[in-house]
Structure 1
Amino acid sequence: MPYWPVTGPPPNTNTSEGETVNFDCTASGKPLPQVTFYKNGIEMTTKKEGENWVIDGSRLTIYNVRKGLQGGGDNAVYQCKAENKHGYLWANFYLNLLAFKPQLLEEPGEVEAVLGNPFTLECKFFASPLATVSWKNPSLLGKSYTQNVDQLGVGRLIIDKVEEDNEGQYECTGENKYGTSTGVVSLLVRKPTKLAALPYTRQTHQAGQPLRLPCKAEHDPKLPITYRWYVSDKPITPEDDDRYEITEDNTLIVNLPTQFDSAEYKCVASTKLDSSERKILIDVQDVPLPVHSAYIESCDPDNNDAKITFSHIEPSTTAVPVNEFWVYYQIDPDVDQTNWKLHPIPVDARQNEAVVENERRVKGSLSIALQPYGRYIFKIVARNAVGDSTPTIVKNNCETNAKPPFRNPSNVRVEGVTPNNLMVYWDPMQREIWNGGKFGYTIRYRPKDGGNWEKVEVDDPFASEKSITLDKEDPWQPYEVQVRARNEKGDSNVTPESITGRTGEGIPGVIVSGFKVDNIGSTSAQFSWEPVDPNAVNGEFKGYKITYWSDDEDDLNGSYDNNNDGSRFKREHRHHFKREISSSRKSVVLSKTATMGDITDLKPSTMNYAYIAVFNGQNEGQQSETISFRTKDGLPTAVSQLHAFPVNSKSPTEKGVVLLAWDEPRTANGAITHYSVVKCVSSDDDPVTTENQEKYCKEPTIYPSDVKSARLTGLEHESPYRFHVHAHTSAGQGPPNSAEIRTLPSAMKYTLEPESPDLLKESIGDDHFNVTLIPGAYDDEIKRPVGNDFYIRYRQAGEDTWNEKRPEPDQLTTSVTGLQPGTKYEVQVVSVQTDDNGNVHETTSRTHHITTTGQTPMKNYFLALLLLALILLLLLCFCIICFCTRKRGQKYLVAEKERQQGREPILPKDRGFEDYAKRDDEEKKSLTGHSRGDSETDSMAEYGDGDPGRFTEDGSFIGQYGAQSKGLIAEKP
């Protein structure tokens, strides 16, 4: 049956006179169809007059078409028939002859082109005859381009390669014999989309590590861009597969990749004009797939042998193929639990491989030698260059028969803990060499010099030690010991090795004699002693130990108390820690051949104690007689709290004056003998240094150890000075502490009040406090004097009268004594300046508050009052209790109740308790005798109690209100 090709039958055609028209009616079929053309239903076989057409096979061509009436022209409806023996096809198409000048069918407007790519501009004209289209733009001059017009009147300008200067407006003109028409096309040139070239097209990646593939394109900023990722040409959608993640910068992340993620990955960056793509092949290096199958092919329990057969399958394109197989085993799962042992011989995969249908198949086997008494289970893993696969459990298991042990424990050691003890140690034998059930150890021992073997059984197969208690204490004596393995089949077939060990060491039975100190320094001491007999140590003689300690209460703060003016607080503080510090002992160990030894970490000027003892591997012997010695004095550290204050002179001859104040060294290392003060004339241009101090410094001035301040006179006014203060002991001079100061000028306003001083609290006790007076700072602009004398005044808080205390001459530190404990005091420092006319000017500092330690007398008074009040309160409570007790014997309201019932009270109104009242006559006793019908007495009356009315059985006074002295029934009046 004939059929039309893809292009279909001939189309309808509009043209104008004078044109040439072609109609192609080619059809397909077997056999090839014959084509016949018709005009207005009449077969075109011969030409009529004026007709100019040619039929060439299946093609009809009409030349110089002319319009006519009633079929006289070429404008008509044409038909073509394609026919073979199976059937035919029929098509109608017309030829319409028109006459129009060109008309632009649609405005081209703006179009966009990509730089460097070919591009086509179009203008579509309707015209008859078909219009010719021409283009105008300055950029076309000298450039390569092509222009054409198709049958539909579409004129095209084809630019082979768009350049930047191609951007602009293009004028297209359509023209035929009837006229012209013009259109304008605006061409915008855009940058191309480019993805950076990858450094490689194939990459290997480790499995389990996140795979990151970046994708960033350069594109025209005026064009929106989209990114798409593909794996093996399939789009990646992170929403459907959580393995993938695409970040904001379009990076693809493959989380926890495996060998199944090995593939080609492609990133496509697209705009509406163009696109760019990059591909990369990823090979994920992963551990192999698990072994496909494995089983025990044979098991020989007598010959202790098993054969394992396995097979493995993996893709032939695997990035890292398997290269060998390893077998693990457990001898006894109950013992080994999660511990597997490795068979040392692998199976090579390459010798057993075959590739079948894109699969690499490996089939192999392995024979394994086993141990007796085993319940073997196996697992197998495949291994490549990355690692091991997940293990595959081998099907079935293999059990072997028991046999005697083939070996004995190794690393046997013998040590003694006590003189009658042997501790035997060994490395427990592994389960795989037990060779049978009821596995254990047999220990034999005897004295080294001979004797009968003693035996001890150890049933725990995992035991690694055994303590043997001997019948007698025999320190450090050698014994011969053997440890042998055994199981249900008997002892091992190997003779155990004999190991020699000793019993425990005893206490050394020797005291070192002749222990003495030979040479004493400030921080070291040398000792000597007489050697001891090693045989008397009762063990392995290790050496000597010297133990030493010191009474270092004087060194808690590192200084001696050389003054008596208010340092009691510091001394008490030191003694508080004496016992704790003195209890700290040190020791030094010396070799067994030594007869002399040194200690080098002692403190200077400290009483020390030491003794020596010998020791063996376990015990220390009895100590020698303790000796005592005092180390020599050492050099003190620098003085602390050094201050220098420029003050005004008391007379013109004193010139510049500086007051120095310091505190004792933090570590005196002995008794301070004196202090030395060195005066150095400094200079702003040439300051005092270690190298030039001999040039600028004077001879030192010596001060007693109890003096910690100095008044230096005769200095130049308004000059820089440096002062060095040293502390001295019998060992020599300690390092200096330095202070730099500038003296006051000679000219200042002496009529003004001096600068305000200050105060520094040193120490506070129950009845005293120590303070340091600090002169005020000189102000060069105001030129107010600092003062040439100072004192303090103090009073109890709330009082009006001030007490004064002046320090010793030329000193700034003073102690105020005779104070009340626990009392708050107000303290002020007063600076004094006396001018040349004898006028005295004073300035007081701010008020400081100092509270002495301890408790105030008033507080003790209040405590005594509180105690007295408490005693009075207790006495009052006691009196109230006594009063209430006596009150219980008086009248009760129950008597009135008895009268209302016709009974008279037993007691008169004026009687109280019978114990405290005179007893009535016997006639006033009960007239009813022992009648119990109406009696309210208790059972005591039945037994002849002389006074049953006094107490009831429970000891109360209810019986007093019974009818004992009156009749029970009152007479009627």
Structure 2
Amino acid sequence: MGPQLKVVERTRTATMLCAASGNPDPDISWFKDFLPVNTTNNNGRIKQLRSGALQIEQSEESDQGKYECVATNNDGTRYSAPANLYVRVRRVPPRFSIPPTDNEIMPGGSVNITCVAVGSPMPYVKWMLGAEDLTPEDDMPIGRNVLELTDVRQSNNYTCVAMSTLGVIEAVAQITVKALPKPPGIPVVTERTATSITLTWDSGNPEPVSYYIIQHKSKISEDTYKEIDGVATTRYSVGGLSPYSDYEFRVVAVNNIGRGPPSDGIEAKTAEQAPSTAPRQVRGRMLSATTAIIHWDEPEEANGQIMGYRVYYTMDSAQQVNTWEKQIVRGSNFLTIQGLIPNKTYYIKVLAYTSVGDGPLSADLQIIAKTGVPSQPTDFKGEAKSETSILLSWIAPAQTGQDNQIMGYELLYKKGDDKEEKRISFEPTTTYLLKDLKPFTTYTFQLAARSKHGIGAYTNEISAETPQTQPSAPPQDVKCSSPSSTNILVSWRPPPTELQNGIITKYAIQYAATEGEDTTIQQISDIPPESSQYLLENMEKWTEYRVTVTAHTDVGEGPESLPQLIRTEEDVPSGPPRKVEVEAVNSTSIKVIWRSPMPTKQHGQIRGYQVHYVRMVNGEPMGQPGIKDILIEDVQEMVITELQAESTYSVAVAAYTTKGDGARSKPKLITTTGAVPEKPRLMVSPTNMGTALLQWHPPTLTHGPLQGYRLRFGRKDVDPLTIIEFPERENHYTTKEIHKGASYTFRLSARNKVGFGEETVKEINTPEDVPSGFPQSIAAEGGTTTTIQVSWNPLLLAERNGVIVKYALQYKDINSPRSPSELFITAPESTVTLDGLKADTTYDIKMCAFTSKGSGPYSPSVQFRTQPLDQAVFAKNFHVKAAMKTSVLLTWEIPDNYNAAQPFTILYDNGQSVEVDGKLTQKLITGLQAGTQYSFLLTNRGNSAGGLQHRVSTMTAPDILRTKPYLTGKTNLDGMVSVELPSVQTSEKVRGYYIVVVPLKKQRTGKFLKPWDSPDEMNLEE
């Protein structure tokens, strides 16, 4: 097969096919335009395939030509018919696939304009601004060009140009820079009142304006302009202004770009109005018994030009003011009133008026027509300084002459609507701090000055209120109940009214579990003040919680209520029993063992367990399941009987509370064994030679051939028993070393292919006799000049011949002709102290043991020597002062002649030791285990081996206190704090408890130094 005519697009792959056959197989080569095709020097672009075909990758126009396939072998050469390969170039004029888009941007903004053009050949793409090229000629990209514009301040048209050999195309993108509005025209005042100014203005902008902002401020103020936003028209009335006051106004335009500059400002004054406040500091004094002078200051808010004042006065304040005597004053701020009646009280009021009208009357000024009596204090006011104090202040009445000096003040005050007034007298001053008031309470006050001529007129009644504070008492009658296993209902009543100290704004509940893994304090806040109960939800089941309630005012939180302990209701256990194990006991019984469910999943007191079992055949249950019930919580095992031999059973266990049974454990499969032999018949015959003859007969039912026997035997007071197995033909055995005075047990079972059957049990008791041995390892320690402590080990088991009831100890001076002294010690004691001995003397000591039948032989003599007199006793009375859970306090006494330079060493707990200064008489040993027996040995480091020693033993306290005390409230001002002690449930005999309170030292970092990890590490004697 020769090549065929082929047309391919440039850059595509062209394949010219050729195949030839012959014998031998011919070699194929290629010619182009009658010249051999080079397949080696073109980087693999032109290659000949194994099939003989010629493959041209990335075809070029130069590859076009006439191709021939040549087949050659030893017999000759053959040329194929020529075939032309034409390489054509695709030609597509340029076009924009992604033309540039128009954009609107803020002044100084940035924008990227993308332009993409395609064609064949691919066009070059450049950007132009008018006639200016923005893309360098030598760096013109193909196909895609992105124009990046930054800090654009001016609108322009940008042109994207795409060019190739087939043409040039253009596209324009318009970039528009948005502009801020211009300032509006100067506003014009078109209308004014005492409290408003109406303005109009010209827009000043050809483009649309979104809205206007009016800025205004008082001319005499240094504050910034106030703004009125969102004005949609060019006319607006600005209200809320002060009468007869100068203001500045200006207008700002806003469009969708932002706000422009403000217009030029304009000044305007509001119109007059009658005064809105009364004249200030109205005061007066008597010039004589019938003449008074009254002074005042201008009103604070005159609202215009004051034209004058009217002064009203009367002796009967109950009359209408328009019936009072009056006088008009123009051009001055005082008035002299003549013709008053001596010793009468006059009430005086003053008002100011403008051209518009009258202002309000001042408060009553009381003045007594009596010479020398002080006038009324002025500007009397009260201000709360704390929740329990109010600061009163005033201006003292004018004083004329040394004879009319103010000698003090009289203050009348009362609480709220109380009828009872309290009176206080104090020295001349202009302020007075009234203390010990009740928070959140309104008080009324009246003040009068006092001279030697008498008490002046009291001021008008003023009032002041003490601020709120946090409640000083907790909510009352806090109660808790558990309506379900996950809910707690908390109810309460508000704190006593007189102790609320404000308006109750909310309540808060604090609660925490007293057991389990999570005992962190949780809080429910923002409970409405009208609520008197709250339901705590999603609580842990069957868990004890500690609940308190607090009341809040705006100032803060009050004290917590006394804690309520409440346990959520029981529920069925959500967790199954753990570690369920099943084992076959025999052919008809299985034993089930388990552990209680996880404590966090018991959800109540476990009342018992149910064991569910069913026989399985081919993986399917057969018949009704059986249920065994155990009503005792502590029992965690059960033997199920009356089962079928060699049968498989599925077993599951569930715990139950009073609410019902909980989750079952994962089923366990167990297969009962085949039947085992019954008990063999056993006979035991003891002899007088310390042996016993055992004889037995096979069981009546063996359930198959017997394979042997197993004998377990030994003393009842020694573990473990000796085990011997016998072949099936064996029927007797003689045991040796049968001790006197002991109880022995013999257990024999027969075995078949399934296993050992039930054991036959026989017990024998050998008669007692006197011991045949003596106490072992007799030693002495802790000797002094007059005492020796002797210790020993019991007799060998085989030599006791019964129960040892006592020991006899003989000792004598080896140099004395006298008979030895004898001492009896009741078993099971293993130590005794010999006292009354001679110093620096050697003694012979020997011992024997007794059973109920008598004494055994004495031990060989052992010699010990007491200390010489010149070796001083280094310590006395070594004993345990206190034994705590993890520590023991040891104390001793030091003789006067002891060398304190030599330290002590205390040995304990299998080789541990601690060195103690020779001057000390006590040591606290820490890091011990609770409920453990310890022995402590006190030695003098200066002594040689075998020197003086003291030994004591004790047991540490049991671990029964496992929870910390609770602080039930905050520390009060007297330093008192209430502590709730944990309840202790134990069968141990407790003599007492320590309550230890230790002040902590603060470090430089501000944190407290914690000197102990446990109270047991504290020396309670310090």
Report the TM range for the smaller structure's normalisation: under 0.3
Q: Using CA pairs below 8 Å that are at least 6 residues apart, which structure has the higher relative contact order?
A: 1
More helix by share: 1
More strand by share: 2
- Bigger radius of gyration, 1 or 2? 1
TM-score normalised by L of structure 2: 0.22
TM-score normalised by L of structure 1: 0.23
